[in-house]
Structure 1
Amino acid sequence: MTSFFFINNSKLMFFTLMMFSIMITISSNSWISCWMGLELNTFSFLPFIFKKKNFLSSETSIKYFLIQSISSVNLLFIISLINWKMMNKNFFLPLLFLNVIICLLFKLGSAPFHFWMINLIESFDWLSMFIFFSIQKIPPIILISFYLNIKFLYLIIILNCLFGSLGGLNQLSIRKILSYSSIFNFSWMFSAIIISEMMFLFFMFIYSLISMNLFMFFNFINLTFLSQLHNIKNNKLFIILILINMLSLGGLPPFLGFIPEWLISIYFIQMKSYIILFIVIMSLINLYYYMQLFFPLIFLNKLQSKWNTNINFNLFFLSYISTTGLLFLNIFFFI
């Protein structure tokens, strides 16, 4: 079993380059420099997918590069059209900006352009999945916020709710279940970016923290399919920690994942927008297949009576943060 945080010198260099590309993308004042930042981000992520002497990872790297290249070529072509139309003051600019958003959604793997992501995610390791589900999402969504088409984003939010909640019901692979969960969380991310960029970054921070903890658990016990949950012979504390992180990722109160969803819901309720009602209803379906993961851990397993002390301290500490999320929020408000 490899460590979740194992990064050699070359990958550390590419990770630094990835952070640098994100700063270039979100701080640029032209679409061309934003495109350059996105391309640099794509190339810096490829070494995390590719592994030597592994044909499946090589094939995945090529597929990922081709998909990102197709969307990047389309994005560059539309950006060129936008610059030309601006010079001629053409009235088709809103349609061109809408196509920019579609290209960015394709790069993200958001519904209804998510099928390529579901096919490739099986060959990702847990560290690559964490980077892809958290850090890689920030630049395209920030670019989408530069030209907010609220009605179109409402449509994308509804599609992500439908595909993300219903798509994970019949899955047996844990990676695919978490992928559909990520698609559903696009609805919360786009809702957050409608409010403000700070709300989006706050949501991404909480989502990344919980996802990192959960992926560390799955990497620690080397899980791939739901059927493997029956073979776990760890202690009660370990199972409770997995349960806590699942419920926190699902946004169930009083866990940490509920806080950003609660703040987003308050805003949309004040704005009298009924789309938040649809998101909350579909999140119940999303929560169901989270709970489906730990049903075998609770009801179908013979638990040991003694606690095993080999649990990583980082896993325990991050799970404690997921448990006491509302406590931290109350302290923040009182301060």
Structure 2
Amino acid sequence: MFNNLTNFMFLLTLMLGSIISISSNSWLGAWMGLEINLLAFIPLLTNFKNLTSTESFTEMFIVQALASATLLFTILLLSFSSNSMLFEFNTYLNIILNSSLLMKMGAAPFHSWFPEVMEGLTWITGFILMTWQKIAPMMILSYCMSHMFIMFSIILSIFVGSIGGFNQTNLRSLMAYSSINHLGWMLSSILISLSHWLVYYIFYTIISLSIISMFYQFNIFYFNQVFSSMNQSPVIKFLMFCNLLSLGGLPPFTGFLPKWIIIQSLSSMNMFLMTTMVMLTLITLFFYIRLTYSAFMIQSTQIMWNKMFHCNLTKMSILLNFFSSFGLILICFIYMIL
């Protein structure tokens, strides 16, 4: 609907809103940054020629407006709570504040809008929703965390992300539930330190970008398209499903490295939380391995040896896929040398 220059301006405004929220020294400034971010992101979703896109746009606007109103209302109550009878309700207000931020980022138990919105988005806007749109709410959440409530959200997010991915044929829904699962791990990394969160977020963004870039290039939205398209190039099929296994955190792929760091740190802080997270994440690995096994075992009826090494991916996409699949081996090798 918009030209490239207009979309670029919306993206710059979107980033500016997140930066304002992160760098603000007042709750009102953080709320204003979130609103600027939302108002810049909403036009990127609009496509009145696509009914599903319009539905996603409307649903996301309603949910985000509700979360913003709850956040602003809670901020106003907290500002008056120190000198009034509301002081004893600070704990409950903090939980409501955390809930509004969890709703904004799509974490459980406020996740139901996230997969439905993802189904109507393009891969580019979906990638922005999965990655950049989570930065500002998470940074604000790190300032006012209610630890018991966040632990409950962590376990529920990983559980919902794992169970929701079963029997999904829509790749956008699968990526949405995978994002909810990784949200649980990112929230647990914030419990440790912001540096742990930054490491996990960077690795998750790179792996998601490598997968979504392939989906975008081949215009793939459903798993039956994956099986039919990838048979033309076994190299692309191999890279695709290695990326999925890396996204699930299977060693020795790169996606295991940030989980490894979180597991090592949580083992000395909260063994129960760490054990629960690992057990629930194994469910995600199960259906990723099941999909990968069926993809590699399906044999094509055509002889395609001449297309065996034909790979029409861009150089950047090949580099991202290589790092996503084999980055852990490379990092370990560099660490051993140093």
TM-score by length of 1: 0.93
The answer for the alignment partner of 1:76 in structure 2 is 72
Residue aligned with 2:167, SS: coil
**Partner Cα separation in structure 1 for residue 335 and residue 145 of structure 2:** 30
The answer for the alignment partner of 1:246 in structure 2 is 244
8 Å contact 1:118–1:176 — kept in the other structure?
yes
CA 1:104–1:51 in 2, change beyond 3 Å: closer, same or farther? same
**Partner Cα separation in structure 1 for residue 131 and residue 41 of structure 2:** 12
Higher relative contact order (CA 8 A, sep 6+): 1
Size of the alignment, in residue pairs? 330
**Unaligned segments of structure 2, at least 5 residues:** none
**Partner Cα separation in structure 1 for residue 28 and residue 293 of structure 2:** 49
The answer for the alignment partner of 1:8 in structure 2 is 4
CA 1:316–1:20 in 2, change beyond 3 Å: closer, same or farther? same
CA positional deviation for 1:193: 0.5
8 Å contact 1:226–1:293 — kept in the other structure?
no
CA 1:272–1:117 in 2, change beyond 3 Å: closer, same or farther? closer
Shifted more, 263-272 versus 320-329: the winner is: 320-329
Shifted more, 87-96 versus 197-206: the winner is: 87-96
The answer for the alignment partner of 1:3 in structure 2 is none
Write the letter of the residue equivalent to 2:286.
Y
The answer for the alignment partner of 2:81 in structure 1 is 85
CA positional deviation for 1:329: 4.6
Once the two structures are superposed, the pairs formed by residues 157-306 of structure 1 within 5 Å of their partners are 157-232=154-229, 233-302=231-300, 304-306=304-306
8 Å contact 1:230–1:296 — kept in the other structure?
no
2:331 corresponds to which of 322, 328, 331 = 328
**Partner Cα separation in structure 2 for residue 48 and residue 30 of structure 1:** 28
Residue aligned with 1:92, SS: helix
**Are 1:98 and 2:95 matched, yes or no?**
yes
Residue aligned with 1:252, SS: coil
CA 1:187–1:334 in 2, change beyond 3 Å: closer, same or farther? farther
Write the letter of the residue equivalent to 1:328.
I
**Partner Cα separation in structure 1 for residue 215 and residue 337 of structure 2:** 36
The answer for the alignment partner of 1:142 in structure 2 is 139
CA 1:295–1:227 in 2, change beyond 3 Å: closer, same or farther? farther
CA 1:293–1:174 in 2, change beyond 3 Å: closer, same or farther? farther
RMSD, aligned CA:
1.9
Residue aligned with 1:189, SS: helix
8 Å contact 2:46–2:54 — kept in the other structure?
yes
Q: 1:162-188 deviations in whole A, cap 9, x for unaligned?
A: 111111112221111111111111111
Write the letter of the residue equivalent to 1:51.
N
**Partner Cα separation in structure 1 for residue 191 and residue 336 of structure 2:** 23
8 Å contact 2:158–2:185 — kept in the other structure?
no
8 Å contact 2:239–2:325 — kept in the other structure?
no
**Partner Cα separation in structure 1 for residue 192 and residue 298 of structure 2:** 43
8 Å contact 2:165–2:178 — kept in the other structure?
yes
CA 1:293–1:49 in 2, change beyond 3 Å: closer, same or farther? farther
**Partner Cα separation in structure 2 for residue 269 and residue 59 of structure 1:** 43
CA 1:7–1:298 in 2, change beyond 3 Å: closer, same or farther? farther
CA positional deviation for 1:304: 2.4
8 Å contact 1:251–1:258 — kept in the other structure?
yes
**Partner Cα separation in structure 2 for residue 333 and residue 305 of structure 1:** 38
Write the letter of the residue equivalent to 1:331.
I
**Partner Cα separation in structure 1 for residue 319 and residue 3 of structure 2:** 22
CA positional deviation for 1:227: 2.4
**Unaligned segments of structure 1, at least 5 residues:** 1-5
CA positional deviation for 1:330: 4.7
